[in-house]
Amino acid sequence: MEVSITVNGVVHASDVEPRTLLVHYVRENLGLTGTNVGCDTSSCGACTLHLNGEAVKSCTVLAVQADGQQVATIESLAVDGVLHPMQQAFMENHGLQCGYCTPGMVMASIGLLNENPNPTETEVRYGLEGNLCRCTGYHNIVKSVLAAAAAATANSTTSSTHEGASA
Amino acid sequence: MTVTDERPAGVIGTSMLRREDPALLTGESKFTNDINIPGALYLAVLRSPYAHANIVSVDTSAASALPGVIAAYSGAQLQDLWAAPMPCAWPVTADMKNPPHFPVAIDKVCYCGDGVAVVLATDDRIAHDALELIDVQYEPLEAVIDLEDALSDRVVIHPDAGTNRSYTWDLKCEGHEGIVDEAFAAATHHVKERYIQQRLLPMFMEPRACASVPQPFGGDVTLYSSTQIPHILKVMSALTLGIPEQHVRVIAPSVGGGFGGKLNVYAEELLCLALSRKHKVPVRWNEERSENSMSTTHGRGQIQDIELAADENGKLTAIRVRILGDMGAYLQLVTPGVPILGAFLYAGVYDIPVAYDFSCTSVFTTMTPTDAYRGAGRPEATYAIERAMDALAASVGVDPMEIRRRNFIQKEQFPYTAFSGLTYDSGDHQLAADKAAEMVGYDALRERQKAQNVAGSTKRLGIGVSSYFEMCGLAPSRVLASLNYSAGGWEAATVRILATNKVQVITGATPHGQGHETSWSMIVADKLGVAPEDVDVLHSDTAISPLGLDTYGSRSLVVGGVAIDMACDRVIDKARKIAAHQLEAAPEDIDFVGGVFSVKGSPDRSTPLAAVAFAAFTAHDLPEGVEPNLEAHVTYDPPNFSWPFGTHICVVEVDTETGSVDLQQYVAVDDCGNQINPLIVNGQVHGGVVQGVAQALFEVAAFDENGNLLNGSLAEYMVPAACDVPPVTTGHTITPSPTNALGVKGIGEAGTIGAAPCVINAIVDALSDLGVTNITMPASPMTVWKAINAAGSPTAATSAATPNSTSTESTESTESTEEGASA
């Protein structure tokens, strides 16, 4: 089937099998391998990316469902070698070890702050319920998200922008 | 040439951010299945739906006819590809039964997931579609999932072995025969407990993947694999396939966690290698998660019977341990050695000079093979002794902290020669325990508990303590030899200073999330007086790092990192000769501080390392007998294991009406000696603790009576999410290791080792007033609720914790013997 999907700001016209999942589309058709696959039951969240600005597990979306939509993957976040504030927060707080869940975790965390810019620790823990990590015990992931939220709040009071919460 | 003495005094001990992170955070890192390999065929494996069956026939003709399918093979058709069965590197006894195990089964299958046929196709989806067209006729046999049933040989799984018993391995105090029996005869307190170590799934987040790229005209083959052990894999695959070892190159790209589950030589790696050479094209395989649950090794799987003898004060006088170990269907790389790694630790942190009697019998079952999983034998041992110490405390009538205090090996006893002949190099257990108690507010918690756990209370507070000794840093080669392990325990390192004073480090340790690049660069930076960013760390490719024994058993820093430190010393020694030549002084009169060589007593007569490096490169004017370039290679064999230790304390609230456990607080005090990077140390503890908590509360690989794994997907297997676990408060005491120059000890597995007994001790503590003396892991609400109700019922003379009704061990006794039985 013919689809036209805007991925990281570039329009891609592709011919895909109807059964192609969005995650396989970005990985295999576009070579954007930062989005990972960790399970086959939509449980782990490693494939989380943004569809029209909202964090979704891209193994639950068919490529054809994304026809005409806007997709953002982990590859779109850092600009000119500068990490996105959420990526920076993960780095500064050791929110990753092996890094396999990390792209999904970062995309989910940005989605979380988009919906709730000032979450409590508990809200972060429940907000990331759909993303599994086996290395960190989540301690530093939660810390990273709270730090990114705090940085975005501090930033918004000075410049009234929401850097930390925009994809 | 600039002098590099302007940077801060040192980076070791600082929480330097990880250099690995930007690539991982941006998606730039390449995991094995991210690598683009033009023309690669996809391998898919048809797996047995039966736990135990004879293979009557395999018909691949329909699969072969599917467009896009290049070939389909039964096990019998692949048999001439193997020079040897799949390797087991640890024949723990001379008479150990090790039935031949091939990548694809031939005559019979011995677990659900055993491979029976394979397909090669141009596309992964076509390969999987083709699997459904393969017709296999089976003659089902009875499954064996109960360890005691396995031991009975009612159904013998491997007829040629004649028995399901693989081995019996003993550790007794030689020259002190009878001392254990005498101690038990004289004991005032005799604790006799049975604990179940349920099977666990490693569940690293990156499923396994591998890709083999042959060079049919060059004779070489390169295997990319999501492995912890590229070096061991290279040797073992060369032997198994009969390929000259120098023709095999193994690369572990970014690896998404391992936890022991990637410490193996797997069928799919061998299949990709063999089929890529046979077909002369690249062959790759990507594991699906539900496939991973069956085809990747499981962890734990033991029945533990432990007995403690103690005098009237609760001072231990003897320990007796009997283990029944679950090997699964076959022996993988180190399967039989896992219980043996725990054999030395059933006395934990306690002073038992000789009276120790350990025996482990391991059996085959018709389930996925077990092997290392974070801690490998040591969490099991620590669980048993720490649970039993709480039982002893109850018997004596003292607080769990007090029973530990009375039995700790004292600080002044180190170095301490244990019953096993091993030397515990250092420790201060009371200090760690005191610190943990202070951090958690132990005395106040006990007061709160007294007020809360009154008659009729349905929200009962429990406080759990566990103190552990870890035996890691695998390992002194001579000790491994005495344990019949087939390899050594050394690690290799190369340090090379380039012409421009930049440094290349080559390590045989293979990181998969531990931050070796960061930590190694910190060691080198301080040692050589260069900036950490000027140090490049190369690893995980046997062509770049030809010597190494990889990463497991909390060995990387204490073996591999120490090797780096030693290689730096050798480079400095060589550079010192060149500097002495430049400064016209004797080498022994040359100091090296902060990257600068100077003449003792004349600091103005100096030359920076950069100038020496350049001189070594140009080789225009070197002293007599000194070769060009600054480079040193070290292979370090540690003289001893590494002995980190600590005390963990946690707080739970148990709802007696629902059986749910709320883990409210977790404090971990760990002593890993000097810390290179506290950020990384704490990260290891956080993750380790949560894996231990997960064993205690959530995880079990559950099988039905036919040997089917019932919870093989991540929708069913309960890997905790962020909302399931509390923050982990870390603290440290620092008792430097006297064994190595860095004073470091391992920290990768400590959290996991301390955590599971800590949590279960807390739950039992919460419910002890109700008569509960044991809870079988995982402490699901149903298990806890049943234990409470059984304890409260008239028939509950003993505890009656019930395991997950579908678990492997569900039919086995989990009753714990009356704790207070005095001799």
Question: Average pLDDT, whole number, for chain A?
Answer: 94
Successive 10-residue mean pLDDT values, chain B, 823 residues: 52 98 98 97 98 98 98 98 98 98 98 98 97 98 98 98 98 88 97 98 98 91 98 98 97 98 98 98 97 98 98 98 98 98 97 95 98 98 98 98 98 96 96 98 98 96 97 95 95 98 98 97 98 98 97 97 98 98 97 97 96 98 97 98 98 98 98 98 98 98 98 97 98 97 97 98 97 97 97 52 36 33 32
User: Rounded to an integer, what distance in angstroms lies between the CA atom of residue B248 and that of residue B236?
Assistant: 10
The total of other beta-carbon atoms located within 10 Å of residue B584's CB is: 8
B678 to B119, B173, B300, B670: CA distances (angstroms): 48, 39, 29, 12
The maximal CA–CA distance of chain B, rounded, in angstroms, is 92
pLDDT at res. B151: 98
Which of B16, B19, B24 has the highest number of chain A CBs within 10 A, making it the mutation to test binding with A? B24
CA R_g for chain B: 28
The pTM for the full model equals 0.95
H or E element that contains B669:
strand B661-671
Q: Which residues have C-beta within 8 Å of that of residue B575, sequence separation ≥ 6? A: B497, B592, B597, B609, B612, B613, B616, B630
Question: Least CA distance to B292: which residue of chain A?
Answer: A39
Owner of token pair 């500097």 = B579
Pairing of strands B283-286, B590-593: unpaired
pLDDT at res. B794: 47
Question: Least CA distance to A133: which residue of chain B?
Answer: B205
Smallest CA–CA distance, residue B129 to chain A, in Å, is 13
Q: Which residues have C-beta within 8 Å of that of residue B298, sequence separation ≥ 6? A: B199, B200, B201, B202, B328, B367, B368, B369, B370, B371, B373, B701
- What is the secondary structure of B314-346 as a DSSP string? --EEEEEEEEEEEEESS--SSTTHHHHHHGGGT
* Chain B hits for A41, Cβ within 8 Å: 289-290, 713-715
pLDDT in tens, A38-58: 999 999 999 999 999 999 999
Owner of token pair 């023709």 = B247
Smallest CA–CA distance, residue B713 to chain A, in Å, is 7
Cβ atoms B313, B370 nearer than 8 A: no
Using CB atoms, pick whichever of A27, A90, A129 lies closest to residue B721: A129
Which of A29, A39, A96, A131 has the highest number of chain B CBs within 10 A, making it the mutation to test binding with B? A39
B206 with A126: Cβ contact below 8 A: no
Burial code (b: 16+ CB inside 10 Å, e: under 16) for B249-260 equals: bbbbbbbbbbbb
Burial code (b: 16+ CB inside 10 Å, e: under 16) for B611-641 equals: bbbbbbbeeeebeeeeeeebbbebbbebebb
SS3 for B400?
helix
Using CB atoms, pick whichever of A78, A128, A134 lies closest to residue B257: A134
* Chain A hits for B512, Cβ within 8 Å: 98
Owner of token pair 């011995």 = B110
Smallest CA–CA distance, residue A108 to chain B, in Å, is 13
What is the Cα A42 distance to its own chain's centre? Answer: 15
A137 with B206: Cβ contact below 8 A: no
Smallest CA–CA distance, residue A17 to chain B, in Å, is 11
pLDDT in tens, A81-112: 999 999 999 999 999 999 999 999 999 999 99
A38 with B714: Cβ contact below 8 A: yes
User: Rounded to an integer, what distance in angstroms lies between the CA atom of residue A73 and that of residue B698?
Assistant: 32
pLDDT at res. A157: 77
pLDDT at res. A159: 61
Q: Which residues have C-beta within 8 Å of that of residue A116, sequence separation ≥ 6? A: A123, A127
A97 with B515: Cβ contact below 8 A: yes
B417 to B310, B353, B421, B425: CA distances (angstroms): 21, 8, 6, 9
Using CB atoms, pick whichever of B25, B515, B688 lies closest to residue A87: B25
Which of B18, B20, B21 has the highest number of chain A CBs within 10 A, making it the mutation to test binding with A? B21
pLDDT at res. B176: 85
Residue B554: left (phi > 0), alpha (psi -120 to 50), or beta? left
**What separation, in Å, do the N-terminal and C-terminal C-alpha atoms of chain A show?**
29
Q: Report whether the peptide linkage leading into residue B451 is cis, meaning its omega lies within 30 degrees of zero.
A: no
B205 with A31: Cβ contact below 8 A: no
SS3 for B163?
coil
User: Rounded to an integer, what distance in angstroms lies between the CA atom of residue B683 and that of residue B687?
Assistant: 6
* Chain B hits for A90, Cβ within 8 Å: 21, 25
H or E element that contains B29:
none
Q: Residue B736: how many CA atoms within 13 Å on its side-chain side?
A: 8
pLDDT at res. B793: 60
Smallest CA–CA distance, residue B796 to chain A, in Å, is 37
SS3 for B31?
strand
User: Rounded to an integer, what distance in angstroms lies between the CA atom of residue B510 and that of residue B521?
Assistant: 15
The total of other beta-carbon atoms located within 10 Å of residue B6's CB is: 9
DSSP for residue A21: B
A100 with B30: Cβ contact below 8 A: no
Task: Say if residue B713 is exposed, middle or buried (CB neighbours under 10 Å; 0-12, 13-18, 19+).
Answer: middle
Tokens of B11: 């980076």
Helices and strands counted in chain A (H then E): 5, 5
* Chain A hits for B205, Cβ within 8 Å: 36, 38, 44, 46, 98, 100-101, 132-135
Question: Least CA distance to A131: which residue of chain B?
Answer: B721
Phi, psi of B666 (to 5 degrees): -140, 120
pLDDT in tens, A118-129: 999 999 999 999
**What separation, in Å, do the N-terminal and C-terminal C-alpha atoms of chain B show?**
78
H or E element that contains B713:
none
Beta-strand ranges (E) seen in B48-98 are 53-59, 69-74
B725 with A92: Cβ contact below 8 A: no
Which of B25, B663, B681, B759 has the highest number of chain A CBs within 10 A, making it the mutation to test binding with A? B25
SS3 for B611?
helix
H or E element that contains B438:
helix B429-440
- What is the secondary structure of B85-125 as a DSSP string? PPP-----STT-------SS-SSEE-STT-EEEEEEESSHH
The maximal CA–CA distance of chain A, rounded, in angstroms, is 49
pLDDT at res. B8: 47
Which of A25, A42, A94 has the highest number of chain B CBs within 10 A, making it the mutation to test binding with B? A94
B464 to B129, B197, B650, B783: CA distances (angstroms): 51, 18, 5, 18
Task: Identify the sign of the CA torsion A135, A138, A140, A146.
Answer: positive
pLDDT at res. B811: 31
Burial code (b: 16+ CB inside 10 Å, e: under 16) for A108-123 equals: bbbbbbbeeeebeeeb
